[in-house]
Structure formats: C-alpha cells, structure tokens
C-alpha cells in the first residue's frame, strides 16, 4: 500500500485548482447530490446508507454519524446543521486541507447530510485563525449557489437549503459542539450542560446536528459507491479511510489518508519515511494533543484504528499525530500542553477551571526549578479531581496527556526535580511569563 | 411514579422529579451544591452534587438528572464523598479564605461544606493564588468581592431570567474567569439584593447590612412585607429591638423566594426619627394617664362624627376601629384615602398599590374615598374625627378639612395628621405587632410580632380594645386571639388563628 492508493477524501490535495467547481464537477463532483435529489433517494435511504457504511464522527469522539442523525425527533420541522471546522486541537490540521484544497466535497457532503436530517440552514463554522479559508469556502459556497446546488428548489427537487460561512473568534472550546452553537448564537462561547443534547435542543433551542468536516466530506463517496464499497476499507468496526495530520521530525510530515487498521509501523516506515536524519523516535501522541501519549515501543505494535488504539491505552481522536523525537524534553512538552488547556478552559466547571490552572502552575514550577518529589503526587491528585467530573471533556483532555506523561516518562520528571537543586534549566519556551 | 433506591432506601417519586430533590428528601438534607437553585435554570457548573447512579459509567450531577423507575443511587459512598471532597478542594484553590472579615461567615456554603468534608489538611497551596478585586461597589445596594466568588453563575442567571436585565456576567475564562457587571452598567435593578441572598458565599453582600452584625447574633421572626399589596413573605432579622435586615421567606403562592429592594428597606421606617413614641396632648408629650380625661370626652358615646381606617393598618386594627365606631354610635366610617400609597408596579412582584392591606378594608366593607370626598365628609361630620394609621392629612384637602375639628389620631409616625390632632396615641409599627394583612390576591397572611415597641408606644389593637372597654363593651376581647375569633365569625373568614403557612384565600362569598 502507498499513500496514493487512498483518495476517497484526498484526491485533490496539493493541487492548485481542486477548489474550483468546474474541476470538482469534471471529476465527478455533485454526482452524489444528483443521485439523492434527482434519482429520488429518500431521507431514510440516505441515513441508512451512511449508517450502513459504519462512518464514525471524525471530530474526535468517533460517534456513528448515521446514528446521531437518527436522534433528531421525527416530528421536528426546524432543524439546523453545523459543520465543525473549528479545528483547534494541537497537532490537528486535516480539516483545513479538506476545505482549502477541496471545499466543494465538504459542501456537497453537507447538502446531502442536511437533506438526510431535513435541515433548512447550514453553518460552516471555521476557526477564527483560518482567515484565508473563510474566503475560500465562501467563494465555493457562492459558486454552489450560482450552480443551483444551494438555495431554493435545489436541482428541481423542491428541497431548499441555505448555507452560511461563519468565522469563529479563536477559542478551542468553541469546537465543542454546544460551545460552537452558543458562540454562533451570540452567547459566551462555552459548552452547555447535557441533556438536552443538541440533536434534540440545540441552536435556537431547535434540533441541531454538528458534524466534523471530515465526517461530512466522507458522505459523497458513500452515496456514490454505496456503503459496501466504503466498508471495503478499514476494519470491521473502524470502517473507511481516515485523514491523519502528521507533525514532528519525520521525513515526510503532512496529511495522509489511510485505510483504518493500517499498522503504525508500516505507516511510519513506508509512508512517513521514518524519522528525519539524526532523530530517533521516542513517543507518539496519535490522535491530537488530548489523547494519552504512547512510547515508541508501544505505538510500533499498534494498528491505526479505533479499537486497537483503545486497547493500547490511547485514542484515535482527531487523527492529529504528533511524533516526538528522543531529543524532546517531555517535561517541557507537557508544559506547553498544560499551558494550552489552562489558557483554553472556558472556566465554568470548577474542576476544570481550577484544575487546569493548578496543573499548569505546578508544571511551570517544576520547569522553573522549584519542584519537589511531592509535586508529582500532587499532579496525580489534581488529575483525580478533574477526570470525568465536568460538563465537557476538556478537563479529561488535559488529564489524559498529563497522566500518561507521568506514567510513561516519570523518570524525566524525577531527573528534572533532582537536577534543579543545582541549576534552573533555561526554557526554549519562555511563555510562562505571559499569563 | 418511579421507584428509586437512594442510599439503600427505596422510595417513590413522581415522574419528572429532579434527582437532586429526590436525594434531599431521602437524605433529609440537600446534596452539597452551589449552582443549583430551584427557581433558576440549571447550570451544572459547580459539580458538587455528583452522585453515583448504578449503571452509569461516571458520576452524575443530580441537579441535571431526573428520576427513572428502578434507579439505584448512592450519595454517601466513598466514591461520591471523594469526588465532593476533591471538587471542594478545587473551590478553595483560589479562594481568599478571609472568613474573619466576611459578612457571609456563619451562613456560607463554602464554610459549611468545608466542615462537612473536613478538609483540614487539604492539599490546597496558598502560594500563588489568582488575585482579584475586592470590595467593589456594583450598584446602589450591592458590593462585590470577586475573590470570594465561586462562579456558580446564580446571580448571572437571576439577572437574566428573573429581572431580565442582564447586568451580571462572568468575564474572561479559565481560572481568570471573574464575576462582574457589564461595562458601563451597574446592578441597579429593583430586585438586586436577591443576588446577595442566592450568592452561596460572601462575594455579593448588602451595602446596607455590611459589617452591621455577625449573622449568628441575629434572631429571626417571620413577617409579611408592608411595602405593597403583594405581601411578600419575609424574615425579619433583628437583635435587641432593632431590625438589621429583611430577607425573603419562600411562599410559592406569593413571592417564591424573592422580594424587591424597596421592600427590604421598609424596616428603616420602623426606626425612623419621626416615630411616635409617646402620647401627645395638643402637641405635648405626656404619659398615657394624662390623655384619659380628654379621650373620655372626645370618644364618649355619640361624640364621634367620623372614624377613618387605613389600608396600612392590620385587619384586626381596622376591625376594632369599626367596632369601636359602632359602639360609640359614630355616624360615618371611611376606609381612608383611596389615592394614598400608590406607585408603579411591575410584572415581577411589586404592585402599584403600596399599601399592604387594601383588600382587608374590602372584607370589612370599609369603602375608601378620594381626598376631596373624604375632606367633604370630614367637613360634614359633627363631633370627633377618629383617625387610624397612615397620614391622611398629608393630603392638603384633608388637612384643610381637619382644621378646627376635634381629632384623635392613633398612628406610628409624626406628620401632618399628628400635628393637627388634639390627642395622638402612639401605636405599633408593622414589625411590633402581630396581625393579618390581606394581599392583592385576597390572601389572608398572618404574622407574629418581631420586636418590642419604642418607649411608650403600645400595640394598636390594645389601644382600641381599651377604648372599647371605656365605651362600655362588657367583655372586650382580651387577646388578639379573641379579636381574631370575633373577626372570623363576623365576616365568615377562615380561622385567622390557624392560617396555613402559605396564607389563605377565602372562596368568594364566604369561608373556605
Ligand atoms: C474541547 C473540545 C474541542 C473540540 N473541537 C472540535 C473541533 O475543532 N472540530 C470538531 O469537529 N470537533 C471538535 N470537538 C468535538 C465536537 O464536540 C463534536 O463531537 C464533533 O464536532 C461532532 O462531529 P462528528 O460526530 O462528526 O465527529 C471538540 C470537543 C471538545 C470537547
Ligand atoms: S470542562 Fe472545562 S472547558 Fe468544558 S465546560 Fe467545563 S470548564 Fe468549560
Ligand atoms: S457572585 Fe456569588 S452568586 Fe454570583 S457567581 Fe459568584 S458566587 Fe455565584
Ligand atoms: S414587592 Fe411589595 S411586598 Fe414584596 S418586597 Fe417589594 S414592597 Fe414588599
Ligand atoms: S449543584 Fe449540581 S452541579 Fe452545581
């Protein structure tokens, strides 16, 4: 297998013209939409096809997409759809590829998804820092309107759909689906308590579906080729292909589309070309910064699918793969991560608000030379008081890396504490002063 | 009905019961909590009310969960206690712990939980707490200490959901999040002091009450606010004859858990400089014995031309006035000034009728009159004008009509009426007597006496009973209890001596 064998999602990646409607149409684009709207597929048929394909949400939680669509109350008549392009998880940069190189694929997938849940208005919520993407996607949406794929009576089917491209203001927490909805509504960008779940009561208190970019981008293929063709890729429970965004000192970092179940070893050696010259693999954070880290020897024997990674003690998450070289100081790395969660916690739940700050300060103190052996127990203790006790999983997202770093790389923490009696290390990352 | 097992105890609850309430019932005390408030939306942010529901992978917050048939819940096991302890500890990480100078001390949620969970040796480090602003005046009544805030968002939800004025907000995020008022505004809605009540810690405190008293020194007596026709149920907190504050007392039929800011301040009237504290004979302060002679003359049989009641007086006081007038053969009665005590109402609690007992006058068939009509009736009356309560002569027409008349005034405050009267008898202010007010719904609400009367002032009902005796009533009622029995009988009312806690609205046309 080689990278070029899998182009369900990534056919136009890296090309300069793939974002244009004409190019997308010439390569079979909007065929799935015609199939649904002109060949008269029913909403149920679309939902069943997606369910049958085993597509799982690509935003991180991996919840089956078709099943989620089924949660919309059948008698609802005002339904909203949000495409989540907030992509702010450190290490994750796949959705921006999809929107940058191939916006029409996501737009087509969104229109079909909206049809399946009977939504009349869709938002594409784009991370605030992705300014250029907003323009690119807006242009593509304008093209789609002009071509009759959006607006009133799409393709003569009687189905109406409006689409709004919305630019976020740059908060990680607005990627959480209820935080996203709140921020679009003009409220403080922070998650709401569940239940009610958005599929029942979301935007303007109406049923609302939130899906990741990659999830909806997978829909046209499933409609065109059928659930069976989709399931031909991947494993029994982890179906289809998945984008991984790989960063770190490997020979060929970037965004890859892989069939789920691909052994990491093969991916690492053959696709990524192994480590860059002079670097040695130390560990991998496989699914975005919020999942537990795996040391080299553990990840090397793991396959890249939901179940295998779960068994290995981590998660597939968003597919934001951070490759960590031997030369990396793990305490410094966790300081970067803990600062991130401390900075991004919305602050409404006590354990997360106080816990992220506490973790950040302890780690900063360690790095600043003021650590004691008891601090490591204190870190564990703070993690205990956060995990599973909050409204949204951001608290767990901070706890999982923290705990796994302590668990897998404790000697580095202990060594630092011992050394610091002698001399405080100088940070290559002097952000501690910024808060 | 749903069968739920809580801490091993099987109980039945109505479908739709909040697990939080079910647990409170089963345990005999509420779960630890800061953010949940039964009259506000659920925020689920403090995370203190976590319980274990068998079959659920994680602990669940009880405030956002509803009972299900067959649910098995644990609220006191090790897992739950550990979580509560840990979360409480999180609450304390950045808390200033300045209880010695905090008004909330003694009724603070944080202190209470802390004691319950015994966090004496917690791992909380004191070194680098987040510091925030202290003692910031945020409105006419409320002062804010941001450091003490536990960010429960109750005050924010109150201003959004109850007053719909939205002044309060939580600004910034993470552990930099802090409570405050929106830039350029202040917490100036007419219900702002309710935020002080619902604030579980000492972050929001009353400017009026600030540093006045340690709360454990106060005695509390239930009362009914005399500020308007709504008749909010209150708690009068007092010590040594002085009222220090009013707090709302829950009555879901009347005021829920709230009251207005104006109502909170009515207690100041009780301790006003203008209080009548001694009988006055033609303007001179005298002893009670010194007015007897004049009263005997002015209130002799057939000598009273007009008796005027008041929507500010209690049901019993107006009843006794009417009885006295009848016994004295007074020709005319009035309920008082129809236009006195009027203001602007709202759709929350405040009524435009600022008197507490206008509907009580209706029960006694005492019609009120406008100033011109009342002045006319005074002018036409021959004999003594007997006035009860309020300050009717504040209306110029009434004052003019009273000139040159024999006037006896039973009241609480000096003013135009007291200045005109030959005899002034100092009565009891609302907190100094027991009584019944009839609110705008027609609800009879009784209240006990909270504090002693100043100096020589007496209970108004006793003053009137004494006049009844003087007027020759054989067995004048010797206690308020007897007065109420007479009242109940005479007007077909529910038993005023055993009104239910929420008060009672008699069915139209008779007793219920
Ligand atoms: C803190 C936080 C940040 C998140 N950020 C994103 C994001 O940037 N993009 C995304 O698709 N999902 C994000 N999620 C997950 C969403 O809440 C939601 O599960 C997802 O958008 C659902 O789409 P899917 O079912 O297609 O995966 C985030 C969740 C959390 C808790
Ligand atoms: S867990 Fe953290 S980020 Fe999520 S809602 Fe609670 S405070 Fe906000
Ligand atoms: S000020 Fe009081 S009521 Fe308001 S959020 Fe803070 S603790 Fe809660
Ligand atoms: S609304 Fe009326 S009765 Fe209630 S507190 Fe205010 S003044 Fe008193
Ligand atoms: S009381 Fe339930 S979370 Fe605060």
Q: Which CATH number belongs to the domain containing residue A275 in this structure?
A: 3.10.20.600
β pairing state of A208-212 and A80-85: parallel
Q: Which atom of ligand 1 is nearest to the CA of A173?
A: 1
| B2-92 CATH pick, 1.10.287.3510, 3.40.50.300, 3.30.70.270, 3.10.20.740 | 3.10.20.740
Last residue of a domain, one of A325, A354, A369: A325
φ, ψ of residue B200 to 5 degrees: the values are -75, -10
With beta carbons less than 8 A apart as the criterion, state whether A189 and A147 touch.
no
Give the Cα separation of B410 and B288 in Å (integer): 13
B48 neighbourhood in chain A, CB within 8 Å = 350
pLDDT in tens, A141-161: 999 999 999 999 999 999 999
Q: Which atom of ligand 1 is nearest to the CA of A344?
A: 1
Residues of A with a Cβ under 8 Å from any B Cβ are: 171, 173, 188, 190, 193, 195, 342-351, 353-358, 361, 378, 381, 384-385, 388-391, 435
CA distance B133 to chain A (A): 17
- A177 and A254: one domain? no
Q: Does any domain span residue A431? A: no
Return the DSSP state at B147.
G
Size of interface A-B (CB pairs under 8 A): 93
CA distance A406 to chain B (A): 19
First and final CA of chain B: distance in angstroms?
31
pLDDT in tens, A95-150: 999 999 999 999 999 999 999 999 999 999 999 999 999 999 999 999 999 999 99
- A290 and A360: one domain? no
- A341 and A405: one domain? yes
ipTM score for this prediction: 0.89
Using the mean position of ligand 5's atoms as its centre, give its distance from the Cα of residue A383 in Å: 20
Report the Cα B488 to chain-centroid distance in Å.
25
pLDDT in tens, A239-268: 999 999 999 999 999 999 999 999 999 999
- A177 and A314: one domain? no
- A54 and A116: one domain? yes
CB contact under 8 A, B174 and A347: yes
pLDDT at residue A75 above 50? yes
Q: Residue range A380-403: average pLDDT? A: 96
Report the residue from B42, B86, B176 with minimal CB separation from A193: B42
List of residues 6+ apart from A40 with CB closer than 8 A: none
Which residue of A353, A356, A399 to mutate against B (max B Cβ within 10 Å)? Answer: A353
φ, ψ of residue A91 to 5 degrees: the values are 95, -10
- A255 and A353: one domain? no
Last residue of a domain, one of A325, A342, A372: A325
B89 neighbourhood in chain A, CB within 8 Å = 385
List of residues 6+ apart from A45 with CB closer than 8 A: none
Last residue of a domain, one of A295, A325, A355: A325
- Angle among Cα B400, B405, B407 to the nearest 5 degrees reads 100
**In terms of Cα–Cα distance, which of B311, B318, B373, B362 is closest to B336?**
B311
- A258 and A216: one domain? no
Q: Does any domain span residue A428? A: no
Give the Cα separation of B117 and B188 in Å (integer): 37
Inter-helix orientation angle A330-344/A394-419, to 10°: 140
A342 neighbourhood in chain B, CB within 8 Å = 174-175
> What is the DSSP track for B147-163?
GG-----HHHHHHHHTS
Q: Which two tokens stand for residue B395?
A: 């209306």
Report the residue from A342, A350, A358 with minimal CB separation from B46: A350
- Domain(s) of CATH 3.10.20.740: residues in chain B: 2-92
The total number of structural domains in chain A stands at: 3
Residue ranges of the alpha helices (H) in B351-421? Answer: 358-363, 371-380, 396-402, 416-420
CB contact under 8 A, A347 and B50: no
Report the residue from B58, B64, B173 with minimal CB separation from A388: B58
Under the banding of pLDDT at 50, 70 and 90, the label for residue A405 is very high
Q: Which ligand is nearest to the CA of B226?
A: 4
pTM: 0.91
- A406 and A335: one domain? yes
Q: Does any domain span residue A433? A: no
Q: Report the run of H or E that residue B307 belongs to, with start and end.
A: strand B304-308
With beta carbons less than 8 A apart as the criterion, state whether B458 and B428 touch.
yes
Which residue of A187, A201, A349, A350 to mutate against B (max B Cβ within 10 Å)? Answer: A350
B275 vs A329, B173, B283, B414, B426, CA distance in Å?
A: 78, 52, 14, 6, 8
CA atoms within 13 A on the CB side of A382: 34
Give the Cα separation of A213 and A84 in Å (integer): 6
Q: Which fold has domain B273-506?
A: Rossmann fold (3.40.50)
B151 neighbourhood in chain A, CB within 8 Å = 347-348, 350, 353
Q: Does any domain span residue A434? A: no
Say how many C-beta atoms besides its own lie within 10 A of residue B491's C-beta. 16
φ, ψ of residue B502 to 5 degrees: the values are -90, 5
Under the banding of pLDDT at 50, 70 and 90, the label for residue A434 is very low
pLDDT at B128: 62
Say how many C-beta atoms besides its own lie within 10 A of residue A5's C-beta. 11
Report the residue from B42, B91, B170 with minimal CB separation from A350: B91
pLDDT at A3: 62
Report the residue from B42, B45, B176 with minimal CB separation from A350: B45
Below-70 pLDDT ranges, chain B: 114-129, 508-512
φ, ψ of residue A385 to 5 degrees: the values are -80, -5
Determine the 3-state secondary structure of B473 from DSSP: coil
Q: Which two tokens stand for residue A221?
A: 């293929």
Determine the 3-state secondary structure of B508 from DSSP: coil
Give the Cα separation of B499 and A267 in Å (integer): 80
φ, ψ of residue B315 to 5 degrees: the values are -60, -45
Residue identified by tokens 């959480």 is A176
Q: Which two tokens stand for residue A48?
A: 């069943």
- A360 and A265: one domain? no
Q: Report the run of H or E that residue B338 belongs to, with start and end.
A: none
Give the Cα separation of A174 and A152 in Å (integer): 30
Give the Cα separation of B451 and B431 in Å (integer): 6
CB contact under 8 A, B173 and A195: no
φ, ψ of residue B367 to 5 degrees: the values are -80, 140
Q: Does any domain span residue A429? A: no
Under the banding of pLDDT at 50, 70 and 90, the label for residue A38 is very high
Kindly state if the Cβ of B264 falls inside 6 Å of ligand 5. Answer: no
- A155 and A261: one domain? no
**In terms of Cα–Cα distance, which of B290, B219, B225, B291 is closest to B263?**
B225
CA distance A195 to chain B (A): 8
- Domain(s) of CATH 3.40.50.740: residues in chain B: 273-506
CB contact under 8 A, A350 and B174: no
Q: Which two tokens stand for residue A141?
A: 């949406």
Q: Report the run of H or E that residue A86 belongs to, with start and end.
A: none
Q: Which ligand is nearest to the CA of A126?
A: 1
Q: Does any domain span residue A193? A: yes
Q: Does any domain span residue A302? A: yes
Give the Cα separation of B31 and B108 in Å (integer): 15
- A129 and A16: one domain? yes
CB contact under 8 A, B47 and A389: yes
CB contact under 8 A, B93 and A357: yes
> What is the DSSP track for A98-167?
HHHH-HHHHHHHHHHHHHHHT-SEEEEEE-TT-HHHHHHHHHHHHHHHHTTSSBSSGGGSS--BEEEEEE
CB contact under 8 A, A354 and B59: no
List of residues 6+ apart from B246 with CB closer than 8 A: B223, B225, B234, B235, B236, B237, B259, B263, B264, B266, B267
- CA-nearest residue to A364 within chain B is B128
A363 neighbourhood in chain B, CB within 8 Å = none
Give the Cα separation of A264 and A286 in Å (integer): 10
Q: Does any domain span residue A204? A: yes
- A69 and A208: one domain? yes
Residue nearest to atom 8 of ligand 3 (CA): B152
Q: Which two tokens stand for residue B460?
A: 């108004």
φ, ψ of residue B268 to 5 degrees: the values are -60, -30
Provide Rg for chain B, Cα atoms. Answer: 27
pLDDT in tens, A158-180: 999 999 999 999 999 999 999 99
Residue A134 is part of which domain span?
3-231
Percent of the residues in chain A that have a pLDDT greater than 90, as a whole number = 93
Using the mean position of ligand 4's atoms as its centre, give its distance from the Cα of residue B258 in Å: 9
Q: Which atom of ligand 5 is nearest to the CA of B42?
A: 2
């Amino acid at each position: 297998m080689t990278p070029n064998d899998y182009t369900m999602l990534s056919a136009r990646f890296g090309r300069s013209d793939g974002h244009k409607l004409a190019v997308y149409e010439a390569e079979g684009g909007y065929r799935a939409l015609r199939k649904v709207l002109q060949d008269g597929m029913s909403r149920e048929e679309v939902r069943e096809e997606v369910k049958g394909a085993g597509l799982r949400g690509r935003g991180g939680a991996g919840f089956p997409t078709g099943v989620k669509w089924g949660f919309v109350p059948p008698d609802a008549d005002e339904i909203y759809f949000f495409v989540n392009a907030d992509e702010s998880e450190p290490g994750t940069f796949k959705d921006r590829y999809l929107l940058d190189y191939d916006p029409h694929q996501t737009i087509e997938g969104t229109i079909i998804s909206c049809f399946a849940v009977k939504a009349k208005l869709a938002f594409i919520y784009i991370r605030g820092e992705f300014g250029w993407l907003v323009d690119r996607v807006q242009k593509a949406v304008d093209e789609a309107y002009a071509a009759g794929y959006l607006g009133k009576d799409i393709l003569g089917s009687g189905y109406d759909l409006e689409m709004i491209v919305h630019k976020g203001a740059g908060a990680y927490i607005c990627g959480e689906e209820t935080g996203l909805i709140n921020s679009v509504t003009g409220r403080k960008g922070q998650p709401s308590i569940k239940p009610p779940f958005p599929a029942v009561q979301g935007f303007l208190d109406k049923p609302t579906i939130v899906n990741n970019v990659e999830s909806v981008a997978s829909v046209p293929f499933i409609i065109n080729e059928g659930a069976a063709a989709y399931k031909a890729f991947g494993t029994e429970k982890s179906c289809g292909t998945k984008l991984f965004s790989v960063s770190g000192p490997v020979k060929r970092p970037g965004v890859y589309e892989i069939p789920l179940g691909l052994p990491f070893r093969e991916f690492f050696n053959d696709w990524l070309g192994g480590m860059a010259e002079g670097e040695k693999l130390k560990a991998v954070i496989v699914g975005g910064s919020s999942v537990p880290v795996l040391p080299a020897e553990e990840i090397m024997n793991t396959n890249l699918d939901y179940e295998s990674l779960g068994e290995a003690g981590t998660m597939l998450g968003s597919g934001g793969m951070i490759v960590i070289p031997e030369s990396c100081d793990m305490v410094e790395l966790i300081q970067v991560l803990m600062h991130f969660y401390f900075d991004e916690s919305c602050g409404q739940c006590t354990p997360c608000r106080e816990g992220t700050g506490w973790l950040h300060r302890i780690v900063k103190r360690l790095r600043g030379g003021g650590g004691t052996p008891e601090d490591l127990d204190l870190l564990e203790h703070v993690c205990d008081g956060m995990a599973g006790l909050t409204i949204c999983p951001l608290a767990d997202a901070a706890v999982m890396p923290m705990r796994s770093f302590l668990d897998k790389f404790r000697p580095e923490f202990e060594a630092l504490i011992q050394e610091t009696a002698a001399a405080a290390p100088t940070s290559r990352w002097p952000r501690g002063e910024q808060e | 009905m749903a069968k739920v097992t809580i801490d091993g105890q099987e109980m039945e609850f109505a479908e739709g019961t909040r697990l939080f309430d079910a647990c409170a019932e089963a345990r005999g005390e509420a779960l630890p909590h800061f953010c949940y408030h039964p009259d506000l939306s659920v925020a689920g942010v403090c995370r203190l009310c976590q319980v274990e529901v068998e079959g659920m992978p994680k602990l669940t917050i009880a405030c956002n969960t509803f009972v299900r048939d067959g649910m098995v819940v644990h609220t006191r096991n090790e897992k739950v206690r550990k979580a509560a302890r840990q979360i409480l500890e999180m609450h304390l990480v950045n808390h200033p712990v300045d209880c010695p100078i905090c008004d909330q001390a003694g009724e603070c949620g944080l202190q209470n939980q802390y004691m319950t969970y015994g966090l004496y040796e917690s791992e909380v480090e004191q070194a680098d707490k987040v510091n925030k602003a202290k003692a910031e005046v945020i409105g006419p009544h409320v002062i804010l200490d941001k450091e003490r805030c536990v960010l429960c968002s109750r005050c924010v939800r109150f201003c959004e959901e109850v007053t719909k004025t939205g002044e309060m907000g939580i600004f910034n995020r993470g552990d930099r999040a802090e409570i405050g008022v929106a830039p350029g505004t202040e917490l100036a809605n007419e219900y702002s002091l309710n935020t002080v009540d619902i604030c579980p810690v000492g972050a929001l405190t009353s400017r009026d009450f600030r540093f006045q008293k340690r709360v454990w020194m106060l005695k509390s007596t239930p009362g009914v606010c005399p500020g308007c026709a709504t008749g909010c149920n209150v708690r009068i907190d007092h010590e040594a004859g002085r009222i220090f504050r009013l707090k709302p007392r829950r009555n879901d039929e009347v005021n829920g858990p709230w009251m207005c800011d104006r109502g909170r301040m009515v207690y100041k009237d009780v301790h006003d400089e203008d209080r009548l504290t001694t009988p006055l004979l033609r303007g001179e302060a005298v002893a009670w014995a010194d007015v007897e002679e004049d009263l005997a003359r002015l209130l002799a049989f057939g000598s009273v031309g007009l008796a005027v009641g008041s929507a500010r007086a209690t049901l019993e006081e107006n009843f006794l006035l009417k009885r006295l007038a009848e016994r004295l053969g007074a020709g005319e009665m009035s309920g008082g000034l129809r236009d006195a005590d009027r203001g602007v109402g709202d759709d929350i609690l405040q009524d435009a009728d600022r008197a507490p007992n206008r509907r009580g006058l209706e029960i006694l068939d005492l019609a009120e009159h406008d100033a011109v009509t009342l002045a006319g009736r005074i002018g036409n009356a021959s004999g003594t004008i007997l006035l009860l309560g309020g300050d009717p002569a504040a209306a110029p027409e009434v004052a003019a009509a009273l000139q040159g008349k024999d006037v006896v005034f039973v009241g609480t405050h000096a003013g135009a009426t007291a200045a005109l009267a030959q005899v002034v008898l100092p009565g009891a202010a609302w907190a100094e007597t027991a009584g019944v007010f009839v609110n705008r719904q027609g609800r009879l609400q009784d209240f006990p006496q909270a504090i002693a009367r100043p100096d020589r002032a007496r209970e108004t009902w006793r003053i009137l009973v004494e006049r009844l005796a003087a007027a020759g009533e054989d067995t004048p009622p010797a206690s308020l209890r007897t007065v109420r029995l007479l009242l109940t009988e005479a007007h077909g009312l529910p038993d005023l001596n055993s009104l239910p806690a929420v008060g009672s609205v008699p069915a139209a046309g008779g007793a219920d």
